[in-house]
């Protein structure tokens, strides 16, 4: 879809006539929805009132709803002077963040604006976000509640305010370099150039997709536009304790994305494994079992504990490369090989190199730890090349419906804006 960046003179406020937005000025507005049927009519109405008069647009709903939201969108779209698309996902992979990634993949304009469907993000700010990016020129424009002129007024209650501020502080503390210049990394309202984002590089979990974008692939230049967070038009907030836990798991996954960070977490997890190991050893020997078989069995409790934490904290995004039983078997083999290797290595260091037992033990622990980490990453969680190539095809396509709209041609002093009628469905 190619649009000229012009404003039809018969549309919008007379004060906006002749206003030139820098090229390119077409925007795809991506709206992830989950049971927002009571909000979408008003949302489309406000977009119609504030956006098309200033820049060409299309609206793309990526919907995970279990109610009649898709049908309400289809009905409301009949009155819209721009294309409206519904991508309904049968499986809400990645939550709200995954929905946004699907929208980015399907977007056709040079700019993409992501906003919620509950009207807490004012649609009237969409043109300003794009214009700010074109003036700078920035690759990412964040609508911020915490910059001068912004407000979090729509956050209901002290609890939500405290959670929002705490999450902002935590993320900025964990990623000070990546989030430099972003005062509101928890914002769900932002504009991004399609050319600077690679959807396949994103691995969202939950609803904080801006954080994912900024940490995994931050554009070189970022700017902010203040906005006042509004009250919900209708319905209830989707923020729950479960979403909060998903957010914390997402933070851990982002923080452990580098090999060095994963090694540190791997070591900390390994240290905690002594607790179930010693507890099992005490229980088995207290029950009368000889200490040698008790040592072997108790070690498996530590292995199981470490495996569970490593699966969820270090390599969550790589679990799909191998079957569960394959990962368990490989991890257990490496963990027990570490125990078997350590004793002869200590003997070698003491007997051949004259080290003290304490020094040799410390060196053996460090050596086997590094080998175990490298082995775990390479043999348990790194995908085989052949397998990776077989599984790297396109992801399943959601159900897509594009709403028809009347073709219109409008002449301005700068050229012609032409929008053709489109209506297609793919399953």
- Dist. CA 83–CA 85, nearest whole Å: 7
pLDDT for the residue numbered 195: 84
Q: Assign 190 to helix, strand or coil.
A: strand
Tokens linked to 79: 């009155």
- Dist. CA 179–CA 116, nearest whole Å: 22
Q: Measured at the alpha carbon of residue 55, what is the angle toward residues 53 and 56, in degrees to the nearest 5?
A: 100
Question: Is the Cβ–Cβ distance between 226 and 148 less than 8 Å?
Answer: yes
- Dist. CA 170–CA 123, nearest whole Å: 29
pLDDT for the residue numbered 1: 34
Bridge partners (DSSP) of residue 59 are 29, 84
Residue 273 φ then ψ, to 5°: -65, -20
Task: Give me the helices (H) in 209-258, please.
Answer: 209-217, 241-255
pLDDT for the residue numbered 224: 92
Can you give the pLDDT of all 427 residues of the chain as single tens digits?
A: 333 332 333 333 333 334 444 344 589 999 999 888 889 999 999 999 999 989 999 999 999 888 889 999 999 999 899 999 999 888 877 777 788 888 988 888 989 999 988 888 999 999 999 999 999 888 899 999 888 888 876 665 566 667 777 777 787 777 887 788 888 888 889 999 988 887 766 766 656 788 878 877 778 889 999 998 887 766 566 555 666 666 677 676 666 666 777 777 787 887 787 788 778 888 888 888 887 688 778 878 888 988 988 887 777 767 777 888 888 888 888 888 877 787 788 788 888 888 887 788 778 778 878 888 888 888 888 765 544 444 444 445 566 666 544 433 332 222 223 332 233 222 2
- Dist. CA 370–CA 334, nearest whole Å: 12
Q: Residue 404: which of 423, 388, 378, 427 has the closest Cα?
A: 423
Tokens linked to 241: 């304790």
CA 161: distance to chain centroid? 22
- Dist. CA 66–CA 222, nearest whole Å: 36
Question: Is the Cβ–Cβ distance between 59 and 82 less than 8 Å?
Answer: yes
Is the link from the previous residue into 205 a cis peptide, with omega within 30 of 0?
no
- Dist. CA 422–CA 426, nearest whole Å: 13
The residues, any chain, with a CB within 8 Å of residue 409's CB and separated by 6 or more, are 416, 417, 418
Q: Any idea which residue has 């390599």 for tokens? A: 315
The residues, any chain, with a CB within 8 Å of residue 41's CB and separated by 6 or more, are 72, 76
427, burial (CB in 10 Å: exposed 0-12, middle 13-18, buried 19+): exposed
pLDDT for the residue numbered 385: 56
pLDDT for the residue numbered 419: 33
pLDDT for the residue numbered 23: 42
- Dist. CA 204–CA 29, nearest whole Å: 19
DSSP string, 9-55: TTSS-GGGTTPPPPSP--EEEEEEESS-TTTHHHHHHHHHHHSTTTS
pLDDT for the residue numbered 50: 92
Tokens linked to 218: 């931050």
Buried b (16+ CB within 10 A) or exposed e, 286-323: eeeeeeeebbeebbebbbbbbbebbbebbbbeeeebbe
Question: Is the Cβ–Cβ distance between 202 and 213 less than 8 Å?
Answer: yes
Q: Assign 140 to helix, strand or coil.
A: strand
Buried b (16+ CB within 10 A) or exposed e, 256-270: beeeeebbebbeebb
CA distances from 279 to 106, 307, 414 (A): 53, 17, 78
Q: Residue 383: which of 317, 335, 318 has the closest Cα?
A: 318
Q: Assign 85 to helix, strand or coil.
A: strand
Q: Residue 198: which of 184, 212, 186 has the closest Cα?
A: 212
Q: Assign 206 to helix, strand or coil.
A: coil
Residue 76 φ then ψ, to 5°: -65, -30
CATH topology of domain 14-255+395-426: Spore Coat Polysaccharide Biosynthesis Protein SpsA; Chain A (3.90.550)
């Amino acid at each position: 879809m190619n649009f000229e960046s012009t404003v039809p003179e018969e549309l919008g406020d007379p004060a906006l006539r002749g206003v030139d937005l820098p090229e390119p000025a077409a925007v795809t507005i991506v709206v992830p929805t989950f049971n927002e049927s009571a909000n979408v009519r008003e949302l489309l109405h406000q977009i119609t009132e504030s956006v098309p008069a200033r820049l060409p647009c299309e609206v793309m709903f990526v919907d995970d709803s279990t109610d009649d939201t898709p049908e309400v969108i289809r009905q409301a779209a009949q009155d819209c002077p721009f294309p409206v698309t519904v991508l309904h996902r049968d499986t809400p992979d990645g939550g709200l963040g995954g929905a946004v990634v699907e929208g980015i993949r399907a977007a056709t304009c040079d700019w993409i604006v992501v906003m919620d469907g509950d009207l807490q993000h004012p649609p009237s700010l969409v043109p300003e976000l794009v214009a700010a990016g074109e003036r700078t020129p920035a690759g990412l424009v964040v609508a911020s509640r915490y910059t001068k002129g912004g407000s979090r007024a729509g956050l209901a209650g002290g609890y939500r305010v405290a959670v929002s501020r705490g999450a902002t502080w935590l993320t900025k503390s964990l990623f000070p370099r990546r989030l430099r210049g972003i005062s509101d990394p928890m914002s769900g309202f932002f504009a991004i150039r399609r050319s600077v984002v690679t959807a396949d590089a994103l691995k969202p979990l939950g609803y904080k997709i801006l954080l994912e974008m900024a940490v995994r692939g931050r554009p070189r230049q970022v700017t902010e536009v203040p906005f006042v967070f509004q009250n919900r038009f209708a319905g209830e907030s989707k923020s729950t304790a479960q979403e909060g836990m998903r957010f914390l798991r997402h933070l851990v996954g982002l923080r452990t994305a580098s090999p060095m960070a994963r090694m540190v977490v791997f070591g900390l997890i390994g240290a905690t494994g002594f607790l179930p190991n010693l507890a099992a050893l005490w229980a088995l020997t207290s029950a009368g079992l000889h200490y040698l078989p008790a040592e072997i069995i108790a070690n498996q409790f530590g292995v199981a504990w470490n495996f569970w934490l490593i699966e969820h904290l270090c390599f969550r995004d790589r679990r799909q490369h191998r079957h569960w039983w394959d990962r368990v078997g490989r991890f257990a083999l490496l963990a027990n090989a570490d125990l078997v290797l350590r004793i002869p290595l200590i003997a070698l260091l003491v007997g051949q190199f004259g080290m003290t037992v304490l020094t040799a033990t410390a060196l053996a622990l460090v050596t086997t730890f590094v080998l175990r980490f490298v082995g775990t990453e390479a043999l348990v969680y790194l995908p085989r090349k052949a397998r990776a190539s077989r599984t790297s095809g396109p992801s399943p396509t959601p159900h897509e419906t594009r709403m028809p709209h009347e073709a219109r041609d409008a002449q301005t002093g700068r050229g012609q804006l032409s929008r053709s009628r489109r209506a297609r469905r793919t399953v």
